């Protein structure tokens, strides 16, 4: 069966095709827990003709320990070394890739390897899973020359994998205990709503549940998720669906230099007695944006206020959140009749950008500066000098200027130019106002002239579960993909693109994204039959179940009625 999968994957039977992968990080739950275990086990194989190898879940070698240094050259000749991926689809049947593929420990003897150059070795692989979540983390492999093969290799590999799992559990327990300690202290001493968030832990005290209703709790938790993995203290303001503004203060918890998680203190910023019960606030109607949530409403009102006062502002926020679109919509709403010149530093040369700014200034037009962090310091200084003249000579009805910016954009966020911009309005990412998603989707579909296309409740619910790393721009691209396939009718769950049927919150690599899409498309093609889909993909049934769970793939088999297109 493994050989069949290797043939279907077009594995070279003569030359190992291990790809070199530059790992994103070698500091992971697996590597931290494995380090002391590998050190101890390496002493057990000292002077023995065997290597001890640790890989991640994709089969990429992370660590290699040698009992006999003479084995190094032989392993290097087949790229069984740190950084090379030994997945079954890369090099064929082998102890690492095949054990990961089937999800079970196994021994591959010399002639059982698919690739001819690997037949001089025997290897025993054992998967390493997280003892709490069950997630596949990687594998342990013992490799030796084929003539030295024996059944003890497999027993040893399984023992090492089990000890790593025990170490993960011990470390997780230590981190969780530290987080729990800080959580209890915060609950006892602050008398306020408190949330604890760790890698696998989320705790909310009873006061949080009493003070905030379920919708506000969900919004607070969504904001809190952004703090996962943060190692520095920070505070942010969150506009909740009820109209209340909450201050979230995050403080990390450490065990030595290991991050256990963090504690979030929640405090209301407004008088609850005045705001509860409160009718849902509706933002001023703007022609080219959509949204009625409390978070979006406050953002719109702040920007309208700045524009009305002719107060120059910075529109802060993540790429794709709609910063430029909101500036244009507010300008049309407040300063209708005045021209707004939009200058994008990435769309033309620096000289052209300067010329556009000069022309706008000379004509007295309002100005939107986008992506100016892409310009060098001298060009930004030149723009600053032009705007300083405008600022010094303008009357109260002079030009209005806005800049779009994000904290990660670069040196422009601290440039003296910004001293002329007293107001900053943060445009929220889509994940912080997903309650606007139905209205926003309808608005975007209408702009695509797809007025006869509607989203089903199941599709809307699924879209609302996604993290939307590209924000509104990302949502627009998804709807465009759907519109290219159909122009009317109801968009059901199975009509969503592959990326929208996966709810994993971690950022996938390009290869993982391709794999996820292939699994989703195979399930769609075979009406949700995982066994048939697995066969079509050349993987085992166990593997496709693991991939569905790992990527959080949502799929509902089509009924006979839903097969037809309106």
- Among 250-254, 277-281, 288-292, 513-517, the range scoring the smallest mean pLDDT is 277-281
Q: Name the average pLDDT for the chain.
A: 84
Q: Note the Cα 71 to chain centre separation in Å.
A: 40
pLDDT of residue 394: 60
pLDDT tops 80 at residue 560: no
Q: Express each pLDDT in 57-115 by its tens digit.
A: 989 999 999 988 889 999 999 999 999 999 998 899 999 999 999 999 999 999 999 99
Query: How far is it between the farthest Cα atoms of the chain?
Result: 90
The pLDDT of residue 7: 86
Q: In order of start, what are the domains of the chain with their CATH numbers? A: 2-167 (3.30.450.40), 191-275 (3.30.450), 294-428 (3.40.50.300), 432-563 (1.10.8.60)
**Is residue 388 very low, low, confident or very high in pLDDT (cuts 50, 70, 90)?**
confident
388, two tokens:
């300083």
Residue found under tokens 């509607």: 454
Confidence band of 407 (pLDDT split at 50, 70, 90): low
Helix (H, G, I), strand (E, B) or coil at 402: strand
Reply yes or no: is the peptide bond before residue 456 cis, omega within 30 of 0.
no
Reply yes or no on whether the pLDDT at 504 is more than 70: no
Q: Which helix (H) or strand (E) holds 111?
A: none
User: Parallel, antiparallel, or unpaired: how do β-strands 234-239 and 245-255 relate?
Assistant: antiparallel
Q: Which residue has the tokens 């494995």?
A: 34
Identify whether the C-beta of residue 53 lies closer than 8 Å to the C-beta of residue 61. Answer: yes
80: three-class secondary structure by DSSP: coil
Task: Establish how many alpha carbons lie within 13 A of residue 404's alpha carbon, considering only the half-sphere containing its beta carbon.
Answer: 23
Q: How far is CA 15 from CA 74, 117, 366, 465, in A?
A: 14, 7, 64, 44
- At residue 563, does pLDDT exceed 60? no
The whole-angstrom separation of Cα 78 and Cα 115 is: 10
CA distance 471 to 480: 14
- Give me the pLDDT at residue 396, please: 60
Average pLDDT over residues 383-408: 79
Asked if 503 and 552 touch (Cβ cutoff 8 Å), the reply is yes
At residue 241, the pLDDT reads: 78
Provide the pairing of β-strand 121-129 with 106-108.
antiparallel
Contacts 24+ apart (CB under 8 A), 482-490: 482/453, 483/445, 483/448, 483/450, 483/453, 486/453, 486/565, 487/450, 487/452, 487/453, 488/450, 488/452, 488/453, 488/566, 489/452, 489/453, 489/454, 489/565, 489/566, 490/454, 490/455, 490/456, 490/566
Q: Averaged over 138-144, what is the pLDDT? A: 95
Question: What element of type H or E holds 201?
Answer: none
| Mean local confidence (pLDDT), 346-361 | 87
For 313, the 3-state DSSP assignment is strand
Tokens matching residue 281: 């606030």
Res 508: pLDDT = 67
Q: Tokens 């450490």 map to which residue?
A: 254
Phi-psi region at 10: left, alpha or beta (left = phi > 0; alpha = psi -120 to 50)? left
pLDDT band at 561 (very low <50, low <70, confident <90, very high): very low
């Amino acid at each position: 069966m493994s050989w069949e999968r290797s043939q279907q994957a077009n594995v070279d039977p003569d030359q190992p095709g291990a790809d070199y992968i530059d790992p994103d990080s070698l500091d992971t739950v697996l590597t931290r827990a494995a380090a002391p275990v590998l050190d101890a086990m390496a002493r057990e194989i000292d002077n023995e003709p065997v290597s001890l190898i640790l890989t991640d879940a994709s089969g990429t070698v992370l660590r290699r320990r040698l009992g006999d240094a003479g084995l190094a050259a032989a392993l290097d000749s087949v790229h069984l070394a740190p950084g090379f991926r030994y997945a079954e689809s890369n090099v064929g049947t082998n102890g690492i890739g095949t054990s990961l593929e089937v999800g079970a420990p196994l021994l591959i003897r010399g002639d059982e390897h698919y690739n001819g150059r690997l037949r001089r070795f025997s290897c025993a692989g054992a998967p390493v899973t997280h003892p709490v979540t069950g997630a596949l983390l990687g594998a342990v492999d013992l490799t030796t020359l084929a003539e030295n093969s024996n059944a003890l290799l497999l027993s040893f590999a399984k023992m090492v994998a089990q000890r790593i799992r025990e170490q993960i559990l011990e470390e997780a327990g230590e981190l969780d205990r530290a987080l729990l300690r800080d959580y209890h202290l915060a609950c006892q001493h602050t008398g306020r709503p408190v949330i604890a968030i760790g890698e696998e832990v989320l705790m909310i005290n009873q006061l949080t549940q009493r003070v905030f209703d379920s919708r506000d709790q969900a919004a607070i938790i969504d904001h809190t998720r952004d703090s996962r993995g943060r190692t520095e203290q920070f505070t942010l303001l969150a506009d909740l669906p009820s109209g209340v503004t909450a201050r979230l203060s995050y403080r990390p918890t450490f065990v030595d230099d290991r991050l256990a998680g963090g504690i979030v203190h929640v405090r209301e910023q407004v008088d609850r007695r005045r705001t509860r019960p409160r009718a849902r606030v509706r933002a001023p109607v703007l022609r080219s944006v959509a949204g009625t949530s409390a978070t979006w409403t406050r953002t719109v009102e702040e920007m309208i206020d700045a524009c009305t006062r002719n107060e120059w502002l910075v529109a802060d926020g993540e790429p794709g959140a709609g910063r430029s679109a909101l500036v244009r919509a507010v300008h049309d709403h407040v300063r209708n009749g005045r021209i707004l010149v939009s200058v994008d530093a990435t769309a033309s040369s620096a000289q052209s950008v300067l010329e556009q700014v000069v022309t706008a200034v000379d004509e007295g037009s309002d100005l939107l500066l986008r992506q100016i962090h892409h310009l060098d310091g001298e060009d930004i200084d030149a723009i600053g000098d032009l705007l300083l003249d405008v600022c010094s000579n303008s009357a109260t009805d002079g030009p209005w200027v806005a800049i779009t910016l994000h904290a990660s954009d670069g040196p422009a966020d601290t440039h003296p130019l910004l001293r002329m911009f007293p107001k900053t309005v943060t445009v929220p990412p889509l994940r912080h106002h997903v309650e606007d998603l139905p209205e926003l989707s309808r608005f975007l579909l209408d702009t695509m002239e797809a007025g006869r296309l509607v989203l089903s409740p199941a599709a809307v619910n699924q879209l609302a579960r996604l993290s939307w790393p590209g924000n509104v721009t990302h949502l627009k691209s998804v709807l465009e993909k759907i519109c290219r396939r159909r122009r009317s009718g109801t968009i059901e769950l199975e009509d969503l693109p592959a990326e929208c049927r996966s709810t994993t919150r971690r950022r996938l690599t390009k290869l993982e994204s391709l794999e996820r899409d292939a699994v989703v498309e195979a399930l769609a093609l075979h009406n949700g039959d995982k066994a048939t889909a697995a066969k079509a993909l050349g993987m085992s049934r166990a593997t496709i179940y693991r991939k569905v769970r790992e990527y959080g793939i949502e799929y509902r088999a089509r009924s006979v009625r839903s097969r037809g297109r309106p």
